[in-house]
């Protein structure tokens, strides 16, 4: 049965970063959905635009209440109003927090492969990236806690950036893992910065666990970045929240966000989250079901039609992490090779570190687009195997 998510949206020639590609190319890379946002969000934005005056904007009580009610109802975690600070985005918040809560040349720990923009926020501010690689075994990832503690125990380590749920591998960290992370960070006096922007994009049968909800240790030694932007496809609105229970940490972060001038909303940033959280739940549930069906379709197609690569089972995000190591050995630049041969634009796993031989594929598109993308992927892998075979025969 066709749904609203099957309706094609033409994004070419609209200044769209994702679709600003050649006509023959199919972009399935950046984490940006090809669906219209929830009708309720669109309606709220249009009504606000019709006022015709776009002056300086305040964050009203409705904004705080929308976040509080959503996290209480949806994620069973009570957020106090004073814990919330508006920010123009999760990435601006992370960069500001790195600047304010660490000093130059200190270490920031990340568990790789992980969202590549974390590296920019660390390096661009003169801090060191300290990787604790996730362990990939039997088609799944887990934390090497011995290695993680070693990195946290380094006297120069002051911050851990956690991705919860984890992009790109689609992992939902459970309460036990989050609790161990929290205890280790507290033991070694390392602050936790948890990026939870993908939290509402879990598969229909799964729920995520807010890091701050696990224990008082986690709650009072953490900063959490949250937003409706990924789930409701409104990243261009530039709206997010930073949630900090500890008053001393909150004061410092608040000063940093204000100093960096990323704590004031545009007119739509104030109204879009309210509409999303207060009225968009049914739309989101339908979206999650559609994305889950897309994931199931892609996994089944790859298993039967492209057996030389393997799709990692994901519980969250709309991103499919692909193990292509069996075919990428002869083609180190696999993503570029596939794009050149088929026009399919995927993200290269090396961007996320500890991801050599992997690709990231965005599944948040119409089913017909997904089918076309998978056919192009099949053709690209076939071309890769053919080229590798030819290279071997020449030797």
What pLDDT score does 2 carry? 75
Q: Is 46 part of a structural domain of the chain?
A: no
With residue 46 as reference, give the H or E element that holds it: helix 39-50
Task: Report the alpha-carbon distance of residue 336 to residue 58 in Å, rounded.
Answer: 45
Examine the domain organization and report whether 296 and 200 are in the same domain. Answer: no
What pLDDT score does 322 carry? 98
- DSSP notation for 325-378: HHHHTT-SSHHHHHHHHH-EE-EEGGGGSS-TTEEEEE--S-HHHHHHHHHHHH
Task: Report the alpha-carbon distance of residue 39 to residue 42 in Å, rounded.
Answer: 5
Q: Is 330 part of a structural domain of the chain?
A: yes
Examine the domain organization and report whether 270 and 305 are in the same domain. Answer: no
Q: Is 299 part of a structural domain of the chain?
A: yes
What pLDDT score does 329 carry? 81
Phi, psi of 59 (to 5 degrees): -90, 115
Nearest to 205 by CA among 136, 291, 311: 291
Residues 6 or more apart whose Cβ sits within 8 Å of residue 293? 367
Task: Report the alpha-carbon distance of residue 72 to residue 75 in Å, rounded.
Answer: 6
Tokens of 249: 């940490």
Pair 356, 334: CB distance under 8 Å: no
Question: Are β-strands 240-243 and 222-226 bridged in parallel, bridged antiparallel, or unpaired?
Answer: antiparallel
Q: Is 320 part of a structural domain of the chain?
A: yes
Predicted confidence band of residue 390 (pLDDT cuts 50, 70, 90): low
pLDDT higher at 329 or 118: 118
Backbone torsion region of residue 203, taken as left when φ is above 0, otherwise alpha when ψ lies between -120 and 50, otherwise beta:
beta
Mean pLDDT of 347-363: 97
- DSSP notation for 156-208: TEEEEEEESSBTTTTBPPPHHHHHHHHHHHHHTT-EEEEE-TTTT-B-TT---
Task: Report the alpha-carbon distance of residue 29 to residue 113 in Å, rounded.
Answer: 16
Examine the domain organization and report whether 321 and 254 are in the same domain. Answer: no
Examine the domain organization and report whether 106 and 235 are in the same domain. Answer: yes
Phi, psi of 109 (to 5 degrees): -90, 135
Q: Where residue 302 sits, what CATH number does that domain have?
A: 3.90.1150.10
Question: Are β-strands 140-142 and 191-195 bridged in parallel, bridged antiparallel, or unpaired?
Answer: unpaired
Examine the domain organization and report whether 174 and 312 are in the same domain. Answer: no
Q: Map tokens 């596939």 to a residue.
A: 338
Tokens of 359: 């690709």
By residue range, what is the domain housing residue 316? 4-30+281-394
Examine the domain organization and report whether 22 and 61 are in the same domain. Answer: no
What pLDDT score does 146 carry? 98
Examine the domain organization and report whether 328 and 262 are in the same domain. Answer: no
Burial level of 295, CB count in 10 A (0-12/13-18/19+)? buried
State yes or no: pLDDT of 112 exceeds 60.
yes
State yes or no: pLDDT of 331 exceeds 90.
no
Q: Is 312 part of a structural domain of the chain?
A: yes
Last residue of a domain, one of 248, 279, 310: 279
- DSSP notation for 214-250: S-HHHHHTEEEEE-STTTTT-GGG--EEEE--SHHHH
For the chain, how many structural domains are there in total?
A: 2
State yes or no: pLDDT of 300 exceeds 70.
yes
Examine the domain organization and report whether 361 and 272 are in the same domain. Answer: no
Examine the domain organization and report whether 174 and 243 are in the same domain. Answer: yes
Overall size of the chain counted in residues: 395
Question: How far apart, in Å, are the Cα atoms of 228 and each of 220, 289, 309?
Answer: 24, 18, 33
Last residue of a domain, one of 225, 254, 279: 279
Q: Which of 25-39, 293-307, 377-391 has the lowest mean pLDDT?
A: 377-391
Q: Is 358 part of a structural domain of the chain?
A: yes
Query: Would you call the peptide bond into 113 cis, given omega within 30 degrees of 0 as the criterion?
Result: yes
Predicted confidence band of residue 1 (pLDDT cuts 50, 70, 90): low
Q: Is 41 part of a structural domain of the chain?
A: no
What pLDDT score does 274 carry? 98
What pLDDT score does 392 carry? 54
Examine the domain organization and report whether 152 and 249 are in the same domain. Answer: yes
What pLDDT score does 332 carry? 81
Tokens of 122: 């660390």
Examine the domain organization and report whether 250 and 332 are in the same domain. Answer: no
Q: Is 39 part of a structural domain of the chain?
A: no
Apex 342 CA angle, 339 and 343, nearest 5: 55
DSSP 52: -
Q: Where residue 208 sits, what CATH number does that domain have?
A: 3.40.640.10
State yes or no: pLDDT of 216 exceeds 60.
yes
State yes or no: pLDDT of 393 exceeds 60.
no
Pair 94, 195: CB distance under 8 Å: yes
Examine the domain organization and report whether 288 and 240 are in the same domain. Answer: no
**pLDDT, tens digit, 9 for 90 and up, residues 217-261:** 999 999 999 999 999 999 999 999 999 999 999 999 999 999 999
Task: Report the alpha-carbon distance of residue 260 to residue 100 in Å, rounded.
Answer: 10
Last residue of a domain, one of 253, 279, 305: 279
State yes or no: pLDDT of 394 exceeds 70.
no
Q: Map tokens 């083609």 to a residue.
A: 331
């Amino acid at each position: 049965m066709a749904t609203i998510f099957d309706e094609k949206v033409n994004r070419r020639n609209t200044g769209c970063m994702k679709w600003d590609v050649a006509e023959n190319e199919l972009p399935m890379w950046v984490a940006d959905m090809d669906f219209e946002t929830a009708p309720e969000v669109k309606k709220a934005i249009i009504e606000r635009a019709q006022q015709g005056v776009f002056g300086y904007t305040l964050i009203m009580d409705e904004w705080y209440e929308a976040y509080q009610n959503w996290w209480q109802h949806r994620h069973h975690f009570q957020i106090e109003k004073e814990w919330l600070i508006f920010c123009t985005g999760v990435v601006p918040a992370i960069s500001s927090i790195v600047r304010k809560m660490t000093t130059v040349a200190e270490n920031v720990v990340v568990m790789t492969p992980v969202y590549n923009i974390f590296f920019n926020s660390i390096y661009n501010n003169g801090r060191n990236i300290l990787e604790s690689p996730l362990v990939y075994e039997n088609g799944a990832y887990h934390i090497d806690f011995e290695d993680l503690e070693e990195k946290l125990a380094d006297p120069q380590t002051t911050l851990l950036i956690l991705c919860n749920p984890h992009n790109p591998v689609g992992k939902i960290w459970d309460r036990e893992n989050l609790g161990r992370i929290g205890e280790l960070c507290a033991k070694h006096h390392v602050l936790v910065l948890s990026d939870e922007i993908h939290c509402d994009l879990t598969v229909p049968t799964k729920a995520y666990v807010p890091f701050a909800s696990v224990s008082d240790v986690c709650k009072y030694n953490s900063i959490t970045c949250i937003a409706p932007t990924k789930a409701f496809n409104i990243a261009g609105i530039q709206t997010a929240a930073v949630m900090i229970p500890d008053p001393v940490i909150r004061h410092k972060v608040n000063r940093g966000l204000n100093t960096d001038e990323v704590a004031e909303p545009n007119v739509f940033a104030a109204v879009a989250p309210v509409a999303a959280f207060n009225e968009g739940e049914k739309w989101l549930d339908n979206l999650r079901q559609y994305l889950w069906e897309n994931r199931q379709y892609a996994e089944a197609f790859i298993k039967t039609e492209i057996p030389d690569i393997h799709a990692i089972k994901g519980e969250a995000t709309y991103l499919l992490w692909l193990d292509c190591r069996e075919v990428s050995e002869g083609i180190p630049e696999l993503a570029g090779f596939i794009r050149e041969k088929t026009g399919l634009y995927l993200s290269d796993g090396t961007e996320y570190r500890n991801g050599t031989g992997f690709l990231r594929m965005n599944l948040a598109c119409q089913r017909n687009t997904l089918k076309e993308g998978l056919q192009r992927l099949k053709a690209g892998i076939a071309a890769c195997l053919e080229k590798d075979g030819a290279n071997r025969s020449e030797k």
